[in-house]
Amino acid sequence: MSNAAIDIISSSLADGTSKQYKLYIDKWIQYCNRNNIPFFKASIVQGVEFLTKLYHDSNGGYSTINTARSALSLILAPIDGYTFGKQPLVQRFMRGIFKLRPSLPRYNSCFDAGHVLRYLQSMEPIGKISLEEQSLKLVTLYCLLTAQRDQTLAN
């Protein structure tokens, strides 16, 4: 495949996806070069061996290996009408990764909005608090209602 074709295919991805995939595509190219594997026409087993190497080398969890699997699905030619990631062996491999190193929750604690609501309720009647306090109360209620992060609201 020509570089021009690769550029056009790459432009179909969102910027964030491209950045995520680039790391694993670069590692795939290095792996292929070291092992004399055709970059676009590797076998399913060769792809699984690459993911296994990532699993052991990077100590990556399910999410890391799944991103690499998705990158390989994008560039490897489908076999029997199935992309790399939809191959039964790859799906079984990914189930094994999930069992061995499951995704961890992003946060290990939960925010109790009740504390904030009780404080806001305890504030003097709206007509007796300053405009600044009214504004802060409104913004706080808006944050709770929309579940937006503070940097989103600042923008």
- CATH code: domain of residue 30: 1.10.150.130
Total number of domains constituting the chain: 2
pLDDT exceeding 70 applies to what percent of the chain? 94
pLDDT tens for each residue of 91-108: 999 999 999 988 777 777
Name the token pair of 138.
């409104």
Cβ-contact 126, 134 below 8 angstroms: yes
Q: Note whether 86 and 31 are same-domain residues.
A: yes
Range of the structural domain that residue 29 is part of = 3-100
Q: How far out from the chain centre does Cα 43 lie? A: 26
- pLDDT-based confidence at residue 6 (cuts at 50, 70, 90): low
Which residues on adjacent β-strands are paired with residue 82? 79
Q: Note whether 130 and 82 are same-domain residues.
A: no
How far is it, in rounded angstroms, from Cα 54 to Cα 93? Answer: 13
Residue 106 lies in a domain: no
Q: Note whether 25 and 69 are same-domain residues.
A: yes
Give one DSSP letter per residue of 81-137, joined into a string.
TB-GGGSHHHHHHHHHHHHHSPPPPS-SS---HHHHHHHHHHSPPGGGS-HHHHHHH
Q: Note whether 84 and 118 are same-domain residues.
A: no
146 pLDDT more than 80: yes
pLDDT tens for each residue of 32-71: 999 999 888 899 999 999 999 999 998 778 889 999 999 9
End of a domain among 74, 100, 126? 100
Name the token pair of 128.
């007796």
Residue 126 lies in a domain: yes
Which residues on adjacent β-strands are paired with residue 79? 82
Q: Is the pTM of this model over 0.95?
A: no
Residue 108 lies in a domain: no
How far is it, in rounded angstroms, from Cα 20 to Cα 126? Answer: 48
